[in-house]
Chain A
Amino acid sequence: MPLLDRMGWRTDDFSRDDVDGGIIVPLAALRSTLDARRAGVIGVEISNDVAVDRLAPYFAQLALIAIAFPAFGDGRGFSLARRLRQAGFAGRLRAVGPLIPDQGPYAFACGFDEIELPEASLARQSEAQWAAALGAISHAYQPGYARQTSIFERRRAARAHKQESRSHA
């Protein structure tokens, strides 16, 4: 199924079938897969109500966690991504479900690296639309959401800069 990250469409190096390369398994099969393929690249797909504690013991062995979005209006996945990042998960985080381009910036800000979409969305929503949505709002207010400096932090930096140049004058 179509996969995109911040840069646009990308090929999926994971699969849900039992082949070589990365595999994504359901949570129920995680233990047995880890035991069977000690050296493999393993990802797990979870529903959006799984407790972080259940996964934390496996963080080091997991290359990817995929969080299912049953509907685009169900925002639990955003908080779960936040919690996983806060708990120290440093692997890839994937959102799986019918998200819309306008949610792209939210997903990436909450810690997702990529979004896996159903074919049907692809037919209606182009790569250009996803890219445009990412650039729609230059700066967000909220501090602490991934990889961009918030307006609050920028204001502080600007003030500190002003004070510094004043003290140099």
Chain B
Amino acid sequence: MTPVALARAPWPDPYLNVDDYDPEADLMVINLGPQHPSTHGVFRVVLYLDGEIIIKAIPHPGYLHRGVEKLCEKLTYAQITPIVDKNDYVAPMLNEQAVNMAFEKMLGVEVPLRARYMRTILAEIQRVASHLLWLGTFAMDLGGALGGGTSVFMYCFRERESILNLFEDLTGCRFHYNTHTVGGQRHDIPAGWAAKVHQTLEAISQRIPEYETMLEHPIFVRRTKGVGVIDADLALELGLTGPLLRASGVDHDLRRDAPYHIYDQLKDLAVAVESEGDCMARYKVRVKELRESIRIARMLIDNVPEGPISGGRPIKQPGQFKAKGGQVYVGIETPRGELGTYLIAGGGKMGDTPYRLKIRPPSLHALACVPYVFPGHSLSDAVAILGSLDPIMGEVDR
């Protein structure tokens, strides 16, 4: 890939040769990570500092490489769902949906309408939980600005806990649900669940203004406004998707542009777009998405049609689904962007396992902008930028 030339002087070059840098300068090398509270997992960035200003950043992922794609080649289609749960562990529902949609497309299994409604609702509620977790940890990354930074974290986790309770009622697990199967859902909506969803989401939507007042603090604004600007060209070049791309002014959302589930019936889906491309814009986009997801979930939960939750025969044995060959790609919109699943069928003796399963994680592409965006910022801004990218190392390294 040819490096993207950025207009932002004076440190535009991610491939800067440190030896050629000003010999008078007081250079220092600092490791951020792999174990650092602000890296949201195990991610290491080698930072070259001139004083306090970063001149070069080299990201080193791979500390959580668990070989998921290789593992999936040994397992049958019905067995893969609980494995991919562990990739993006902040939004496991979306991972399950992504692989299962790929399998359904490959095997030609029809998903009944009720299951599609349920998937949409679960995806939106999961998006709320994921953005809440992001908001809490981001506020904590920014630290002292917000009363020790942990107050927003505590509030956000309180709301997230109530969403986990919803999922626990439905599936029996707090996360790693294993509730999607090829062709539908495993667990039907229990009695009284819709009322609980309304109650929980109503409570959360009433509290969002509270967070906004907390985060409209002048210190928060000064630490995020104009920090970590990703312009639209760079974002498109690096393959950023989701809130990061929308915060850079590109109006792109797979839910509207390539609808799946029942998103094509949602004519009034509002896509949050900001043009600044800085940390503040990313924060604004995510808070708008919080509101929108709550609205969609509350709108749909009353209209779930009756009917079966799973198409085709119930899964009795793991090797039930067989495909001799062929390839499909399915991309869905997760809280972090486009989660793609590329599947080549026909592995195993019977053709009941994937030959190859490639997962396109949005966070990996988000981290690709680190060498482009970090230079020129101070060390403390690096933490803010990394937090605003919302990387989940489980899906970066897989």
> Do A and B originate from a single complex?
no
